[in-house]
Structure 1
Amino acid sequence: MKSSKRKICQILALVLSGVGASAAMAVPVVQGGGSSLVAPTIGAIGLSTTEIGLFGTSEGSFTYYSVGSGAGQNAFLGNQPTFLGTGVTGTVDFANSDAALNTTQITSYQAGLARTSGPLIQIPYIVTPITIPLVNAPAVTSTTTPQTTPGQAHSIALNDDDLCGIFSGNFTDWSQVTDPEKTTKYPAGAIKVVYRADSSGTSELLTRHLAAVCAASSATKPGITFVDSLTFAASFPSGVPSNFVGATGSGGVKSQLTSYLAAGTAAVAYLSPDYTNTFLAPSSSSASSQLQVASLLNAKNGLYYAPTAGNATTALSIAAPGTKNAASQPANWVPIAGASYTANANPASGYPVSGTSQILVSQCYADPAVKTAVHDFLNNHYTNSTFATVIRGNGFDTVPSSFQTAISNDFLSNASGWNLDIGNAGVCTGTITGR
């Protein structure tokens, strides 16, 4: 009898362990990476102040690798997880990039991996300004410029000539930089410039503006022509100026600036708000250093703007595609040419260096559980007010409501009826097995 009971218990234990294993297997690993700009917002499992933390693990175990926009693009487009880090294996389910994919990248994907993975979806994820943080800069004497930094009612102001002079290497000392409010030079002090040495969407958003305004600026260093690029150094074919210092990732730029701050060295850089201070990003885990930030003069309307989420949205000139044909083209969701691109590169109002950060996903996934997890995560990102609080707490804005509606109707619910939605049975079938 005891032997029979023991066998029954053993069988029950095996059955229960099998059920447990099956339940564990039902929760897939959903991995992606890219932009360091959005990394504090997307975050990690277990952090209630991040999107992944809020989403939890009941549908999928999300992992995000902060490796820069360029690496994220490469990882997703080739489904090559090694771009996310040494030793990373498995499928690349999504990527985030502050730079839009170019025409060549989209065409190559459509002609290749899309034939089995399904169409590529590229949609705006958040709205972001690109700030100009300063350390050991001249004292703020303005009484009219906007606040950008905790405990500092006003800010140092820079205009396009100042940006062109500093970032081209023509201005290497504050005594060369004109305070646009007073039309006098700032007090002397040598300037270091910290730039992104990796492939960065933050660099692309900055160089997009510099390419639009610096060709006409007498402050630009002779022989330097800025190009819209993920690689900041691409504008310097003969090498960056001697006062420039490269850093990897947004965290690397912040670390270099805090090092200069402690050493008493004056420096200028460019960063998303979540790496600067808690005035701009009140709940960011990466904004504890309280870096001083400049306000910028918008050349089109003559007003000073702080790099706030609202001022970034004001600067945007974008509209969601309104037809099936237009919506099915990834480039139409983030213009890389034409009137809209020009308007965003040098906006008529709002903070001058602003744009969107994108997410890349596939329409089809081989594992139905991954499809559900990706779909539901995006649905929360675009429609859940708690997720919106996380976004704004990091200094960003949610995409305009018209975009939220279009993204939901086209890619999440198929309310548009265009069969562009994630996991659409009419598309994800046959040889299109999904990634």
Structure 2
Amino acid sequence: MQSTTKYLLGTSSALVLSAAAMLSAVQPANAQATNGLYFGGSTLASEAFRQIFDCYTGATVGNDGFSFSASFNAAGPTPGLLPAACAGVDTTVQGMYAGVGSGNGFRGYISNTPSQWYSGNVTAGSVVATPFPAAQPPYVDTLNSTNFGSYPYPRVDVGLSDSPLASTLAALTTAAFSFTPSANWASGGATATTQVAVGSSSPVSFNVAAWGNPVQLPAFEVPVAIPVNVNSTLLTINSQIKSGGAIVTGGAIQLSSAQLCAIFSGLVTDWNSVATIPTLSSTGTVVNQAFDYTNVGNGVATAQPYASASLPISVAYRSDGSGTSFIITNYLKAVCPLIDPTDTYKYKSIFGAANLPSTSFSNLISNIAAARGNGPWNAASTVAGAWAGSSGSGGVQAAVGTAAAQAGRIGYVSGDFVKPYAIATNAPYAASVQNEAQRIAGVTTPATAATTLTFIPPTPAAVDLAWGDTRLTPPSATSTWANWNVYGINFASTEPLHGGVAVAGLSVLPLTNQTGAYPLSGTTFMATYSCYGNATNGQNLLNFLNWYYQYPTSDVNVKNILNNNSFSPLNKQWLTAVQAVYLTPGTGVALALASGGSADGCTGVTGGANP
């Protein structure tokens, strides 16, 4: 990578990195940073941001599992490796990331309280094991424990979630629990408190007067993969695609949108099933077919059951507040009711309910239980006990797994938690998914040729095609944070029928008819404050954001790292909008420092976040 002198980074106060910071870039990669950036939230984004931070500093944190290597392949993926070209943009600044889940990430952000960045769920009045973040990526640095060995963090800089912030200030509230002890739960990277007492919670509102307006910036383009454990002698997956004996990206199984609706509505619960499910033709006509209708390929033209004997479809889902749950329920809410317009199969009742999309997958489960009634569905809301929740993306990854005892499990995670992008050895392979362009073109089953992958795999290129839909228009300079909710960008009332189906008013991303687009696409939002009160901390954050969002110069390492994790940087129209609205002084809404420079973002603010 070019020397740091290239990165005279634009900020809201038109300052550049200090001479000391520029000189520090030539220090060895193990030079210890002293200034921190503190991010917390989405586990979907956690591994990618750990790598982005490593590149920015030019050094890894203890036990994060990554290493700078000349073997890093930009055409990848090469899991676990970082570009050797990451020489460090600012070696004095180190980013720390607490993977606590999207819901908890926004709790800490709204309350501006780092102790709210805990993993899982807690109950007032209980004594619980210390609610540390997920172990990977590490939330403290054992190699630099003097500066980054304690948790909770000293402050909140950015909260991250794959679901959007509430659209009004009145709704930006959270129930923030109090914790005892108030001291660090982890100290010096070695000692840790094993339990904390959970006090009462009270509503906490976002404080505009103290921190400025809320800001939510799409961080990158995300494909949510459908992992499937195919390790069973019972399974016969004709649509599986291999190369050199290994399953390729998205090649574990090929599933239509109709099959996903059947699985995630509890209509079909066994891989051996040949039950009737509704599908949509290229003209929008409902056609009833057997569940196994896409199980063709590799020279087999006649569908057969996926399993030779009963093998339950066990759904692994997120039990915590999850933005990944929001993305998949947003997809299901948009797609499934169109397949069952008369509610014969209860899709409208299940997916069309007002409580979806949601960060809580239990909302969907409750809807299924209500619609399906007794039988395998009961008050516990799991089908024959097969559906099971796990905390964090890593939890779902492990729950689906690769072991024979877990065969038939299916779930949803970001693309960096499935092979070939994942680091973990127990990472499953993912499905390829039929998109709307294929349905409209009459491509309803996989091709039978052995080398053809018909449906769409969760890749950086495929998610970028979804984001390339021109109807997914970024907000203007006069927008508020609510306008940056990409899931809330709907087709206009004048949108023509898509293959005989009316999509006007529905979410663009899951129903885009772009050729090659991956339909389960979304983003991770970086929630920031518009005003930062501490000149040093705020300036470091602005420098990082300007580098990350590629202004004024471009660092190919950002793109390469994101691609290596299955993600894609924001496309040009969205990247330009972020730069123009929030990172360029004089727009009236740009991020700012209360201590000087442009007043953008600090107008009427009495303090600024993290003074």
Give the TM-score normalised by structure 2.
Answer: 0.60
> After the TM superposition, which residues 314-353 of structure 1 pair with which residues of structure 2 at under 5 Å, given as runs?
314-316=465-467, 317=469, 318-322=472-476, 324-326=477-479, 329-340=480-491, 342-349=507-514, 350-353=517-520
Q: 1:225: which partner in 2?
A: 351
Offset from partner CA, 1:57-105 (integer Å, 9 cap, x none): 6443321100111110111011121221356153211011111112146
Q: 1:6: which partner in 2?
A: none
- The alpha carbon displacement at 1:29 in A equals 3.0
Q: Is the 8 A contact 2:236 2:305 kept in 1?
A: no
- The alpha carbon displacement at 1:211 in A equals 1.0
Q: Is the 8 A contact 2:400 2:406 kept in 1?
A: no
Which residue, 224, 232, 240 being the options, matches 1:130?
224
- The alpha carbon displacement at 1:106 in A equals 7.2
For 1:331 and 1:186, the matched residues in 2 are separated by 43
For 1:152 and 1:108, the matched residues in 2 are separated by 43
- The alpha carbon displacement at 1:199 in A equals 0.5
User: Is it true that 1:433 corresponds to 2:598 in the alignment?
Assistant: no
User: Is it true that 1:309 corresponds to 2:438 in the alignment?
Assistant: no
Q: 1:158: which partner in 2?
A: 255
Offset from partner CA, 1:376-407 (integer Å, 9 cap, x none): 21122222211211111101000011221221
Q: 2:272: which partner in 1?
A: 175
User: Is it true that 1:386 corresponds to 2:557 in the alignment?
Assistant: yes
- The alpha carbon displacement at 1:131 in A equals 0.7
> After the TM superposition, which residues 214-293 of structure 1 pair with which residues of structure 2 at under 5 Å, given as runs?
214-217=336-339, 224-225=350-351, 227-237=356-366, 238=379, 239-241=381-383, 242-258=385-401, 261-278=403-420, 281=421, 284-286=422-424, 288-293=425-430
Q: Structure 2: give runs of 5+ residues left out of the alignment.
A: 1-23, 25-30, 61-67, 69-80, 119-130, 132-150, 174-203, 274-290, 297-302, 367-378, 444-454, 492-505
- The alpha carbon displacement at 1:185 in A equals 3.5
User: Is it true that 1:102 corresponds to 2:166 in the alignment?
Assistant: yes
Q: 1:71: which partner in 2?
A: 104
Which residue, 517, 521, 531 being the options, matches 1:354?
521
For 1:363 and 1:357, the matched residues in 2 are separated by 18
Which residue, 300, 314, 322 being the options, matches 1:192?
314
Change (3 A) 1:336 1:191: closer
Counterpart secondary structure, 2:210 = helix
Tell me which amino acid in the other structure corresponds to 2:395: G
For 2:94 and 2:540, the matched residues in 1 are separated by 9
Offset from partner CA, 1:90-134 (integer Å, 9 cap, x none): 321101111111214675379841211112221110101111111
For 2:104 and 2:227, the matched residues in 1 are separated by 25
Change (3 A) 1:184 1:140: closer
Tell me which amino acid in the other structure corresponds to 1:393: N
For 2:461 and 2:82, the matched residues in 1 are separated by 21
Kindly tell me the number of residue pairs found equivalent between the two proteins.
Answer: 400
Change (3 A) 1:198 1:334: same
Change (3 A) 1:67 1:61: same
For 1:203 and 1:309, the matched residues in 2 are separated by 20
Counterpart secondary structure, 2:217 = strand
Offset from partner CA, 1:351-398 (integer Å, 9 cap, x none): 111111111111211211111111121122222211211111101000
Which residue, 290, 293, 298 being the options, matches 2:435?
298
Tell me which amino acid in the other structure corresponds to 2:96: T
- The alpha carbon displacement at 1:252 in A equals 0.7
Change (3 A) 1:150 1:79: farther
Q: Is the 8 A contact 1:131 1:294 kept in 2?
A: yes
Counterpart secondary structure, 2:44 = coil
When the two chains are superposed, the root-mean-square deviation of aligned CA atoms in Å is 3.2
Change (3 A) 1:59 1:140: same
Higher helix share: 1
**Aligned sequence identity (%):** 25
Q: Is the 8 A contact 1:128 1:354 kept in 2?
A: yes
Tell me which amino acid in the other structure corresponds to 2:162: D
Q: Is the 8 A contact 2:531 2:605 kept in 1?
A: no
Q: Structure 1: give runs of 5+ residues left out of the alignment.
A: 1-22
Counterpart secondary structure, 2:325 = helix
For 2:556 and 2:359, the matched residues in 1 are separated by 32
Q: Is the 8 A contact 2:317 2:387 kept in 1?
A: yes
Q: 1:115: which partner in 2?
A: 209
- The alpha carbon displacement at 1:235 in A equals 1.5
- The alpha carbon displacement at 1:274 in A equals 0.6
For 1:367 and 1:27, the matched residues in 2 are separated by 16
